[in-house]
Chain A
Amino acid sequence: MKSSFPKLLALLFAFTLIAAACGDDGGDTSTGTDTTTSAVADQGITITVTGPERDESEAGAISEVLGAWGDEQGIEVIYLGSADWEAEINVQVEGGNPPDISIFPQPGKLADFARDGHVVPLNDAAAAATAENWSEAWNVFGDVDGVQYGVPVKADLKSLVWYQPARFAANGYEVPETFDEFTALVDQIAADGNRPLCVGIESGQATGWPFTDWVEDMVLRQHGAEVYDQWVEHEIPFNDERIVSTMQTVLDLWTQDNVFASSGSIAATAFQDNGQPLVDGNCFMHRQASFFSAFMPEGTTFGDGEGEVNVFYFPDINGDRPVLGAGTLAAGFNDNDATMALLAYLSTPDYAEARQVSQATRKGGGATLSGFLSAAIGQDPSVYQPLEQSFLNVLETAAIVRFDGSDLMPADVGAGTFWTEGTSAVNGDLTAAEAAARIEASWPQ
């Protein structure tokens, strides 16, 4: 038996491999561990939903509303927010372990997954539900190559400027109606020795995104929706001279005299730190999305009274009232009946109302803004506060709604170079043209 033992083991191993091979060809996979499936089935159906929203109140509201729906249907619904959703969802999909439904903040990502066959098209019932509950302008973001994959579940309004009406009145400033009036106001405030704007683009891993929002809003204003679409679709290069000039416009507006940056430089100032200086009067205006209400100092009230904060529409140039929006879309990774039924429910005004009520209560109730907004058709407006109703009004009356471009571009750009090279430009390390050229170079072929 000298030294043949290892060889015997090796042969045993080889034999196992071949034996296993035969097992597979026989139609069965691997060993007899299929006892587990029956155990899961006994517990009923569970649907797992993931998404980037993870605050106690946001995620709590989603869990509560979906849980209540699940109880009616006899389904267990789990919502899990994730701090690292963007990376996590890729890993889960590649690893063969996706959730049943995920809520996408980026339609571009949804489209990628749809084209790779990871997310599935809505079934007829769910597609009909979303067509009925949301306008075409929103549903188009969940539409990939003519097939509806996504259900809009949340809307953000980005073309807003936060200000204090009482402070405006005290200084004799008026809310600008056109972009020229806006720049004139900026100049006037600066000339009066004050700082017109609060700007900060630091946001941890997403540093730079407020800059991209400004650029997108301005492209929409200066060059119109058509050029915007071409830019986002990469039909014109990123360093097209129109885009470069728009980036330059933004940078020119953000001069030392025009901007109060609470950390001393725009690139170093956290975007969420702009609420306090606005309330304190260090600056007069802050262009930021509807959800910024949640970043105002504690106890801030909204309205036209003394010390209160309000918003005005970021004025347009050509009178076409374009609106930059953003939001989230839900899509399913399988076409089980329960998954599709939940997707259909997510599109309904019932869901939006229930979530709004739950979230507002969790934020403290009363006149507190929930930070949530939905553009679903047929919601009861009374669940929203007056300011939120005015957001809805802007969304409804807008002739042109465009989704946040960086969320539509490939992630390399939209969550990559547009942020980083844009930040370099803001920081003065690169010119607008250099930054645009680098972003263009990074666009995937």
Chain B
Amino acid sequence: MSGDRPGIDTAIYGFLRRIPTGVLWLIVLVWSLPTLGLAINSFRTRDNQRGSGWWNVWNDGGLTLENYDVVFSASTTAGLKESLLNSFAIAIPATVIPIAIAAFAAYAFAWIDFKGRKWLFIATVSLLAIPLQVALIPLLRLYNFGSHWTIPFLEKTVTLIPDFDLVNTTTAVWLTHTGFALPFAIFLLHNYISELPKDLFEAARIDGADHFTIFWRLVLPLSIPVLAAFAIFQFLWTWNDFLIANTMAGTNPDAIATTIRIANLAGDFGRNEHLLPAAAFVQAFFPLVVFFALQRFFVRGILAGSVKG
């Protein structure tokens, strides 16, 4: 191996150096294949989808917008527009409200001293492990009847939460999402907020700022990347949720979410499964918009100049 002159070995080494980047793009390629197949199939007829793989699209003799037509116009369960509106009415409050509540709590767990906060934090985050199915029936009863408790031995029933007649409304759906989102939201936000540089807080305290001001003026602006990250996930989880929307408001045609509409489009025994690729893209459109819109908040250097001591 002669080191001085550029030869075949240098070329190979140069190639090897690019392997990590190559691996990245290889993963990206593999990741995109199923989605690509879905995208192509969404433009193919039922018999073509069933008869040959999507890479044979060249032999189909043209693409069709028929699937999208059906997805846009189907109206038996709900119209597209109505169901989109309902999904927004669920997903927006279900994203914004947990962010606020979790940010308060994460700040308290990170920067306010009180007895037992470590254990209270662990207890709160542990609730992540609860399978949300267990809460469906109790919550449905809550929205339906309110919450009443008969005190043991005294035989007196007390009303803990009155019946606000929320069942079958989008409000019931986003309230449910709010509760389920909090453990993860607190966990994620706390991880970020607790690592903000201590000096900032001490300086602010010396200036006489109270917790409310610190939270509002200091913590929220500095936490924008993590708030954006959580907002992305929470939006698309609630947007794509079927179980909760169906349980809490599935029998009210005025509150049908897009996921329910699409599940019904598939038909009995998956008779119309050929519509699902098109439907999946319509469904994924808004989460992607949210992702692209919020991605610009993941920027380097928001904490520039404040190295953790």
- Report A-B touching, CB under 8 Å: yes
Binding site for B on A (CB under 8 A): 17-18, 20-25, 29-31, 33, 36, 48, 50, 52-56, 58-60, 63, 78, 80-84, 88, 91-92, 94-97, 99, 203-204, 206, 270-273, 276, 294-295, 297-298
Q: Could you tell me the distance between the alpha carbons of A405 and B256 in the complex, rounded to whole angstroms?
A: 34
CB of A56 within 8 A of CB of B74, answer yes
CB of B246 within 8 A of CB of A30, answer no
Instruction: Output the least CB separation between A122 and chain B (Å).
Output: 22
Closest B residue by C-beta to A94: B137
CB of A80 within 8 A of CB of B251, answer yes
Q: Which of B50, B51, B139 counts the most chain A CB atoms within 10 A? A: B50
Q: Which of A58, A84, A276 counts the most chain B CB atoms within 10 A? A: A84
CB of A297 within 8 A of CB of B47, answer yes
CB of A30 within 8 A of CB of B163, answer yes
Instruction: Output the least CB separation between A151 and chain B (Å).
Output: 20
Q: Could you tell me the distance between the alpha carbons of A387 and B297 in the complex, rounded to whole angstroms?
A: 63
Q: Which residues of B contact A31 (CB under 8 A)?
A: 159, 162
CB of A78 within 8 A of CB of B158, answer no
Q: Could you tell me the distance between the alpha carbons of A60 and B74 in the complex, rounded to whole angstroms?
A: 10
CB of B271 within 8 A of CB of A272, answer yes
Instruction: Output the least CB separation between B103 and chain A (Å).
Output: 24
Check: B171 CB closer than 8 A to any chain A CB: no
Instruction: Output the least CB separation between A365 and chain B (Å).
Output: 17
Known: A31-B162, A48-B251, A204-B270. A95 touches B137 (CB 8 A): yes
CB of B158 within 8 A of CB of A96, answer no
Q: Could you tell me the distance between the alpha carbons of A298 and B50 in the complex, rounded to whole angstroms?
A: 12
Q: Could you tell me the distance between the alpha carbons of A18 and B165 in the complex, rounded to whole angstroms?
A: 23
Q: Which residues of A contact B154 (CB under 8 A)?
A: 21
Q: Could you tell me the distance between the alpha carbons of A24 and B149 in the complex, rounded to whole angstroms?
A: 11
CB of B162 within 8 A of CB of A30, answer yes
Q: Which residues of B contact A55 (CB under 8 A)?
A: 264, 267-268, 271-272
Q: Can you list 17 A-B pairs with a CB-CB distance of less than 8 A? A: A21-B151, A21-B156, A30-B146, A30-B148, A31-B159, A54-B76, A54-B263, A59-B77, A80-B253, A83-B263, A83-B264, A97-B168, A204-B269, A206-B269, A270-B270, A294-B271, A295-B269
Instruction: Output the least CB separation between A33 and chain B (Å).
Output: 6
CB of A33 within 8 A of CB of B250, answer no
Q: Could you tell me the distance between the alpha carbons of A263 and B28 in the complex, rounded to whole angstroms?
A: 30
CB of A271 within 8 A of CB of B269, answer yes
Q: Which residues of A contact B186 (CB under 8 A)?
A: none
Known: A17-B158, A50-B251, A298-B46. A96 touches B144 (CB 8 A): yes
Q: Could you tell me the distance between the alpha carbons of A35 and B226 in the complex, rounded to whole angstroms?
A: 43
Closest A residue by C-beta to B172: A97
Beyond A97-B167, A295-B271, 12 additional contacts (C-beta under 8 Å) are A17-B158, A24-B148, A30-B162, A50-B251, A54-B263, A80-B256, A88-B250, A92-B140, A94-B141, A96-B145, A272-B271, A276-B51
Q: Which of A33, A55, A95 counts the most chain B CB atoms within 10 A? A: A95
Q: Which residues of A contact B271 (CB under 8 A)?
A: 55, 272, 294-295
Q: Could you tell me the distance between the alpha carbons of A55 and B268 in the complex, rounded to whole angstroms?
A: 6
CB of B140 within 8 A of CB of A23, answer no
Instruction: Output the least CB separation between B154 and chain A (Å).
Output: 8
Known: A59-B264, A80-B77. A24 touches B157 (CB 8 A): yes
CB of B159 within 8 A of CB of A95, answer no
Q: Which residues of A contact B141 (CB under 8 A)?
A: 94-96
CB of B270 within 8 A of CB of A88, answer no
Q: Could you tell me the distance between the alpha carbons of A298 and B46 in the complex, rounded to whole angstroms?
A: 9
CB of B246 within 8 A of CB of A33, answer no
CB of A88 within 8 A of CB of B159, answer no
Instruction: Output the least CB separation between A333 and chain B (Å).
Output: 11
Q: Which residues of A contact B153 (CB under 8 A)?
A: none
Q: Could you tell me the distance between the alpha carbons of A78 and B157 in the complex, rounded to whole angstroms?
A: 36
CB of B140 within 8 A of CB of A96, answer yes
Instruction: Output the least CB separation between A88 and chain B (Å).
Output: 6
* Binary contact readout B79-98 vs A (1 if CB under 8 angstroms, 0 otherwise): 00000000000000000000
Q: Which of B46, B157, B158 counts the most chain A CB atoms within 10 A? A: B158
Q: Could you tell me the distance between the alpha carbons of A94 and B165 in the complex, rounded to whole angstroms?
A: 17
Q: Which residues of A contact B70 (CB under 8 A)?
A: 56
Would you list the 6 A-B pairs with minimal beta carbon distance, nearest first? A95-B140, A83-B263, A21-B156, A54-B264, A55-B267, A30-B162
Instruction: Output the least CB separation between B188 and chain A (Å).
Output: 30
CB of B159 within 8 A of CB of A30, answer yes
Q: Which of B50, B154, B260, B267 counts the most chain A CB atoms within 10 A? A: B267
> Which residues from 112 to 154 on chain B have a C-beta closer than 8 Å to any C-beta of chain A?
136-137, 139-141, 144-146, 148, 151, 154
Q: Could you tell me the distance between the alpha carbons of A55 and B140 in the complex, rounded to whole angstroms?
A: 27
Q: Could you tell me the distance between the alpha carbons of A274 and B271 in the complex, rounded to whole angstroms?
A: 13
CB of B165 within 8 A of CB of A33, answer yes
CB of A21 within 8 A of CB of B158, answer yes
CB of B264 within 8 A of CB of A92, answer no
Check: B164 CB closer than 8 A to any chain A CB: yes
* Binary contact readout B16-39 vs A (1 if CB under 8 angstroms, 0 otherwise): 000000000000000000000000
Check: B265 CB closer than 8 A to any chain A CB: yes
Q: Which residues of A contact B266 (CB under 8 A)?
A: 83
